[in-house]
C-alpha cells in the first residue's frame, strides 16, 4: 500500500556512512556490537537490503510510515494503561519501524542452545521438587533453592504432565561486544510480550512489503497454533477434546491486550478468576448453559495470586481451591506453579553446571559471568567494583531492584552497597555489558539504540520455537535498560535465509 | 459461553443502542428548533431531557445547546453519549477475544474520536452533523456486527440487549408525548402540537416509513398505532418485543429446560398485549399506564435473563 502511493525511489547514494551522512548522521558506533554496521562503517551483508532501503527512501517517508504504524496500534487497542490523577490514559508501547535482522544460520545455532537449555531447566525443576539429586550431589547449594522466594513447597511431589514444568519460556538473549549471543535471563514464570512479536510483524511487513519479500523472512504466524498444540499435549489422560482456557487477571492488567489476543488466536475462552470455581477438586467455569468442566488452564496470573487458599489470601484474581484440584491431577496449569525457582538470578549462574549435570553436554549458549554476593570473596569484589558492575536482586524482574553501576551516582552506589551488605544472599552482580545496537528511527534520522532479544519456546511433548522474537529497544540514547516498564520499546525481528 | 462474556455483550449492545437513540433525538431536536419560536423550543426540551437524562434527578440545565452538549460530551454525566460509548467500549474490551477485529476497530475508533482533544471544537462548530456522524458510526457498528460476527449465542445476547433497550427507549419517548408526563418529570408542558409530532416521528427514524403507511396525514392516534403496534417497523415497540421473544430461545443452549421459563412467560405476555392490543382502546383509556407497563416488563425480562443465565446460583448444578 505504502509502496504504491510513491514512485520508486531513486538511488541517491549507497555510501551513506554512519555518523556522517543522512539518514545516519547521528548514528554512533561505539564499543557495542552493531547489528547493521561493521566497525569500519560498511553494512553487514545480512543488513545490506535494509541499508539500501533506508538510504533511498524519500526524506519524510519513514516518518509517515512510523505514524501509520502507531495509528494502527492505537486503533487495534494494542495499548497499556497508565493510571494518572484524573483518568486512565491508554498508551501504545513504542514500536520502532526498522526490523532487526538475524541471519538464518546464526538463528539455527541459537535455537539449538535454547532447546538444550530448556530441557535442562525442566529436568532441574523436576529434580528439586522431587528427589533433589542435584542438591544431594552438591552441584547447586540446597539453601539457595529452598531459600528462594519462588520455591513453593506446595509443589513437592506433584505429578506434572509430561514433566514439562515450563511450557512457555521467554529467554532474554543479549549480544555481547564480541558479537556472541548469551543468555541474560530465563523467564520461566509468565513471560509476556509475544503478542508484540506478532503485532510488530503485521505492521512492519505492511510498511516494508518489498523489502520483506526480497529478504526471504521466515514466517512466525504459527505461534498461536503451536501454543494450542502444546497446551493440548499436556492434557494427558483427559478427554479427547479437552477444554482449554486462558486465565487473565482482567482488563486492568497491563498485558490484557496480549491475553485477549492469544485467546482469539487459539479460539479458546478468556476467563477471569471469578468465572471459575472448584468443586470436589474439579475446576468448572460458569457459562450461560450451566457449569462446564475445565481441563487445561494457560494462566497469565502470577503464582502468588492464583489460589487464595494456597498462596496470597488477599488475592481476588485467583480461584479458591485451584491448587488442590491441580494436585489431584484434575486440571493442568501451564506454566506450572513454582517455576520461578529456576529463573532466580542466583540459580542462573549455575545453569551451565545444571546443563552438564543432567544432559552430560557442554552448554551451547553462553551466559554472563556472575558474582554471587552470598560468597564472601565475590561480595568484597562486588563492593570494591560497584562502579563497573550491574547489581541485581535475585528474585526481582522487570528491571526493578537493580543498580547499573556506571550510570549511577556515588550516593546511589553507597546506598545500594548498604543494601547488599545487609542481605548479601539476595544479590548477584555482573559486568556491565554494552548490549548490541541496532538502527532505530528517531524522528530526524536513523540512530543506534541498544537492543536485546526474547524468543518464545513452547514445550509440551516436543519443544516448538517459531523463527522470530521480540527485540526490545532502549529508546533513550545510550541507555541499556530495555524493559517496557522502564520506558523501553520493541521492534520486529526478521530471521532471514 | 461464559456468563460474564454474555453479560458484557448484552450491555455493550444496550449502551450502543442508548447512544444511538440519544444522538438521533438530539440531532432531530436541534434541527427542529430552527423552525420554532424560542419559547416553544425551550419548552419542548423538557421532553428531550425527560427522554434521555433519566433518572431526572440528574442535573441537566441551561440553554438547549448547553443541554445538548451535556447529553453528548459530558464525561461525568451518566446518560451522555460519551459515557454510553465509553461503557460500550469497556464491555467490548472485556470480550475482545470474542468479537471480530472489525467490530473492535469500529468501536475503538469511535471512542478515540470522541475523546480527541478537538472534539468540543468540532461539536461547537456544527453540533447536528456531529451527532449525525455519531449515529451513523453506531449504525455502521451494528452492520459490521451482523456481517462479521458468527450469529451464535453471543450475537443473540447482543440482539437481546439492543431490543430490550430499544423497547424501553421508544416507550419512554412516547410516554413523554401521550397523556400526562411521567411522574419523575417535574415540569409541566403543553400537549404536543403538529410540529412536535413530526419531530417525534423523526426521532424514531419513522417519518418516511409512517408516511408510506398513513400518507402524510399526521395524527397522534396513527402515530401511536405505528410506533407501538406496527409489526414491520424496526423502531416500533411490537417489533422490538417480537425480537426479544425470539432471542430468548437462543440463549444458553443445552441449559436445563426450566431456566428460561420465567423470561419466556414475561415476554410472551408482553407480546400478547401488543399482538392483540388496539390503539383506540389505548387512546380512550390509559395509554401512559400501558407505556409504563411496557418499560416495567422489559426490566423484569432483563432481571429474569440475568437470574437464569448470568448470576445464577451454581449449587444445584454441581454434581454431588
Q: Mean pLDDT throughout A306-322? A: 90
Topology at the third CATH level for domain A107-185+223-359: Rossmann fold (3.40.50)
Provide the pLDDT for residue B320. 64
> Which chain A residues have a beta carbon less than 8 Å from that of B94?
251
> Is pLDDT at A85 greater than 60 in this prediction?
no
Topology at the third CATH level for domain A369-431: Dna Ligase; domain 1 (3.30.1490)
C-alpha dist (Å) from residue B298 to A489, B173, B270: 50, 15, 9
How is chain A split into domains, by residue range? Answer: 107-185+223-359, 369-431
Provide the pLDDT for residue B273. 96
ipTM for the predicted complex: 0.88
Q: Mean pLDDT throughout A206-212? A: 94
Strand, coil or helix: A287: strand
Give the burial class of A74: count Cβ atoms within 10 A of its Cβ; 0-12 exposed, 13-18 middle, 19 or more buried: middle
What is the overall mean pLDDT for chain A? 91
pLDDT in tens, chain B (320 residues): 999 999 999 999 999 999 999 999 999 999 988 888 877 777 778 888 888 876 655 577 788 888 999 999 999 888 899 999 999 999 999 998 899 999 999 999 999 999 998 999 999 999 999 999 999 999 999 999 999 999 999 999 999 999 999 999 999 999 999 977 887 777 777 888 888 899 999 999 999 999 999 988 999 999 999 999 999 999 999 999 999 999 999 999 988 878 889 999 999 999 999 999 999 999 998 999 999 999 999 999 999 999 999 999 887 777 76
For the ranges A76-90, A200-214, B184-198, B242-256, which has the lowest average pLDDT? A76-90
Helical spans, DSSP H, in A342-409: 345-348, 351-359, 376-384
How many other C-beta atoms lie within 10 A of the C-beta of residue A93? 20
CA atoms within 13 A on the CB side of B206: 31
> Is pLDDT at A61 greater than 80 in this prediction?
yes
Provide the pLDDT for residue A9. 46
> Which chain A residues have a beta carbon less than 8 Å from that of B318?
279-280, 284, 291
Q: How confident is the model at residue A482 (pLDDT cuts 50, 70, 90)?
A: confident
pLDDT digits (tens, 9 = 90+) for A428-440: 999 999 999 999 9
In angstroms, the CA A361 to CA A113 distance is 11
- Restricting to A residues 398-437, those with a Cβ less than 8 Å away from any Cβ of B are none
- Max distance between CA atoms of chain A, in angstroms, equals 73
Provide the pLDDT for residue A397. 67
What is the gyration radius of the CA atoms in chain A, in angstroms? 23
> Which chain B residues have a beta carbon less than 8 Å from that of A76?
101, 104-105, 108
Cβ-defined contact of A287 to B105 (cutoff 8 Å): no
Most confident of A9-23, A349-363, B40-54: A349-363
In angstroms, the CA A190 to CA A103 distance is 29
- Restricting to A residues 445-474, those with a Cβ less than 8 Å away from any Cβ of B are none
Q: How confident is the model at residue A11 (pLDDT cuts 50, 70, 90)?
A: very low
Q: How confident is the model at residue A4 (pLDDT cuts 50, 70, 90)?
A: very low
Q: Which residues contact A111 (CB under 8 A, 6 or more apart)?
A: A455, A465, A467
In angstroms, the CA B96 to CA B113 distance is 19
- A–B interface: beta-carbon pairs under 8 A: 82
Cα A66 from chain centroid?
Answer: 24
CA nearest to A63, candidates A118, A25, A23, A120: A23
pLDDT digits (tens, 9 = 90+) for A116-157: 999 999 999 999 999 999 999 999 999 999 988 899 999 999
Provide the pLDDT for residue B54. 64
> Which chain A residues have a beta carbon less than 8 Å from that of B108?
75-77
How is chain B split into domains, by residue range? Answer: 3-317
At CB < 8 Å, which residues of chain B contact A? 1-6, 75, 90, 93-94, 96-98, 101, 104-105, 108-109, 112, 153, 157, 251-256, 309-310, 312, 314, 317-319
For the ranges A6-10, A253-257, B47-51, which has the lowest average pLDDT? A6-10
Torsion (CA) B239, B241, B242, B243 in degrees, nearest 10: 90
Provide the pLDDT for residue A12. 46
- b/e for A274-301, b at 16 or more Cβ within 10 A? ebbbbbeebbbbbbbbbbbbbbbbbbbb
Interchain CB contact of A285 with B (< 8 Å): yes
Q: Which three cell numbers stand for residue B160?
A: 437481546
CA distance, residue A264 to nearest chain B CA (Å): 5
Q: Which of B1, B2, B305, B317 to mutate to test the interface with A (most CBs of A within 10 A)?
A: B2
CA nearest to B310, candidates A287, A247, A270: A287
Amino acid at each position: 500500500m505504502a509502496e504504491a502511493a510513491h514512485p520508486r525511489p531513486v538511488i541517491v547514494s549507497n555510501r551513506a556512512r554512519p555518523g556522517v551522512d543522512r539518514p545516519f548522521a547521528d548514528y554512533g558506533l561505539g564499543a557495542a556490537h552493531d547489528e547493521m554496521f561493521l566497525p569500519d562503517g560498511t553494512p553487514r551483508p545480512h543488513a545490506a537490503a535494509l541499508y539500501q532501503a533506508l538510504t533511498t527512501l524519500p526524506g519524510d517517508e519513514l516518518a509517515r510510515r512510523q505514524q501509520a504504524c502507531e495509528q494502527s496500534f492505537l486503533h487495534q487497542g494494542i495499548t497499556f494503561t497508565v493510571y494518572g490523577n484524573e483518568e486512565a490514559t491508554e498508551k501504545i508501547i513504542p514500536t520502532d519501524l526498522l526490523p532487526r535482522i538475524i541471519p538464518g544460520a546464526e538463528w539455527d545455532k541459537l535455537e539449538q542452545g535454547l532447546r538444550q537449555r530448556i530441557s535442562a531447566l525442566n529436568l532441574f525443576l523436576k529434580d528439586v521438587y522431587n528427589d533433589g539429586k542435584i542438591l544431594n550431589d552438591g552441584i547447586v547449594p540446597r539453601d539457595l533453592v529452598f531459600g528462594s522466594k519462588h520455591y513453593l513447597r506446595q509443589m513437592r511431589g506433584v505429578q506434572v504432565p509430561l514433566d514439562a514444568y515450563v511450557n512457555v519460556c521467554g529467554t532474554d538473549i543479549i549480544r555481547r561486544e564480541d558479537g556472541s549471543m548469551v543468555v541474560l535471563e530465563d523467564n520461566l514464570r509468565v513471560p509476556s510480550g509475544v503478542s508484540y512479536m506478532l503485532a510488530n510483524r503485521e505492521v512492519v511487513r505492511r510498511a516494508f512489503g518489498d523489502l520483506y519479500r526480497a529478504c526471504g523472512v521466515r514466517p512466525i504466524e504459527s505461534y498461536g497454533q503451536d501454543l494450542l498444540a502444546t497446551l493440548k499435549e499436556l492434557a494427558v489422560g483427559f478427554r479427547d477434546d479437552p477444554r482449554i482456557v486462558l486465565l487473565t487477571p482482567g482488563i486492568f492488567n497491563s498485558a490484557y491486550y496480549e491475553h485477549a489476543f492469544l485467546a482469539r488466536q487459539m479460539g479458546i475462552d478468556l476467563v477471569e478468576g471469578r468465572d471459575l470455581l472448584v468443586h470436589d477438586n474439579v475446576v468448572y467455569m460458569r457459562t450461560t448453559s450451566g457449569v462446564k468442566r475445565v481441563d487445561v488452564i494457560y494462566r497469565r496470573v502470577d503464582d502468588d495470586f492464583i489460589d487464595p487458599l494456597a498462596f496470597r489470601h488477599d488475592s481476588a484474581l485467583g480461584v479458591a481451591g485451584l491448587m488442590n484440584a491441580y494436585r489431584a491431577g484434575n486440571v493442568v496449569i501451564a506454566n506450572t506453579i513454582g517455576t520461578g525457582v529456576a529463573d532466580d538470578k542466583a540459580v542462573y549462574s549455575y545453569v551451565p553446571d545444571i546443563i552438564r549435570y543432567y544432559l552430560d553436554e557442554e552448554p551451547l549458549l553462553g551466559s554472563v559471568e556472575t558474582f554471587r554476593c552470598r560468597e564472601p570473596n565475590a561480595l568484597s569484589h562486588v563492593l570494591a567494583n560497584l562502579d563497573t558492575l550491574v547489581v541485581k536482586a535475585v528474585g526481582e524482574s522487570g528491571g526493578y531492584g537493580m543498580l547499573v553501576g556506571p550510570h549511577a551516582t556515588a550516593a546511589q552506589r553507597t546506598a545500594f552497597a548498604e543494601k547488599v551488605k545487609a542481605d548479601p544472599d539476595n544479590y548477584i552482580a555482573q559486568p556491565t555489558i554494552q548490549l548490541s545496537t541496532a538502527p532505530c528511527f528517531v524522528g530526524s534520522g536513523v540512530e543506534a539504540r541498544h537492543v536485546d532479544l526474547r524468543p518464545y519456546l513452547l514445550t509440551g511433548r516436543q519443544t516448538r520455537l517459531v523463527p522470530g522474537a521480540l527485540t526490545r529497544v532502549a529508546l533513550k540514547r545510550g541507555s541499556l535498560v530495555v524493559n517496557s516498564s522502564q520506558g523501553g520499546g520493541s521492534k520486529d525481528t526478521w530471521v532471514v535465509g | 459461553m461464559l456468563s460474564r462474556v454474555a453479560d458484557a455483550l448484552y450491555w455493550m449492545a444496550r449502551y450502543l443502542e442508548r447512544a444511538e437513540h440519544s444522538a438521533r433525538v438530539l440531532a432531530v431536536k436541534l434541527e427542529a428548533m430552527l423552525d420554532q419560536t424560542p419559547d416553544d423550543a425551550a419548552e419542548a426540551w423538557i421532553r428531550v431531557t425527560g427522554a434521555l437524562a433519566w433518572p431526572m434527578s440528574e442535573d441537566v440545565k441551561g440553554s438547549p445547546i448547553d443541554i445538548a452538549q451535556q447529553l453528548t460530551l459530558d464525561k461525568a454525566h451518566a446518560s451522555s453519549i460519551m459515557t454510553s460509548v465509553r461503557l460500550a467500549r469497556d464491555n467490548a474490551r472485556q470480550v475482545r477475544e470474542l468479537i471480530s477485529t472489525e467490530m473492535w476497530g469500529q468501536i475503538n475508533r469511535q471512542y478515540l474520536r470522541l475523546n480527541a482533544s478537538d472534539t468540543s471544537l468540532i461539536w461547537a462548530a456544527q453540533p447536528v452533523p456531529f451527532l449525525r456522524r455519531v449515529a451513523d458510526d453506531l449504525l455502521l457498528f451494528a452492520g459490521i456486527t451482523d456481517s462479521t460476527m458468527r450469529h451464535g449465542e453471543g450475537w443473540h445476547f447482543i440482539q437481546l440487549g439492543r431490543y430490550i433497550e430499544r423497547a424501553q427507549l421508544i416507550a419512554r419517548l412516547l410516554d413523554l408525548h401521550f397523556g400526562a408526563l411521567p411522574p419523575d418529570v417535574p415540569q409541566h408542558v403543553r400537549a404536543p402540537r403538529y410540529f412536535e409530532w413530526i419531530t417525534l416521528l423523526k426521532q424514531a427514524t419513522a417519518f418516511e416509513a409512517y408516511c408510506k403507511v398513513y400518507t402524510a396525514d399526521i395524527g397522534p392516534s396513527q402515530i401511536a398505532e405505528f410506533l407501538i403496534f406496527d409489526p414491520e417497523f424496526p423502531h416500533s415497540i411490537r417489533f422490538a418485543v417480537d425480537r426479544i421473544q425470539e432471542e430468548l430461545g437462543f440463549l444458553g443452549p443445552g441449559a436445563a429446560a426450566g431456566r428460561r421459563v420465567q423470561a419466556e412467560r414475561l415476554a410472551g405476555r408482553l407480546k400478547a398485549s401488543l399482538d392483540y392490543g388496539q390503539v383506540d382502546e389505548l387512546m380512550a383509556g390509559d395509554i401512559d399506564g400501558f407505556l409504563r407497563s411496557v418499560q416495567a416488563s422489559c426490566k423484569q425480562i432483563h432481571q429474569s435473563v440475568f437470574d437464569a443465565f448470568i448470576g445464577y446460583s451454581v449449587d444445584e448444578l454441581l454434581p454431588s
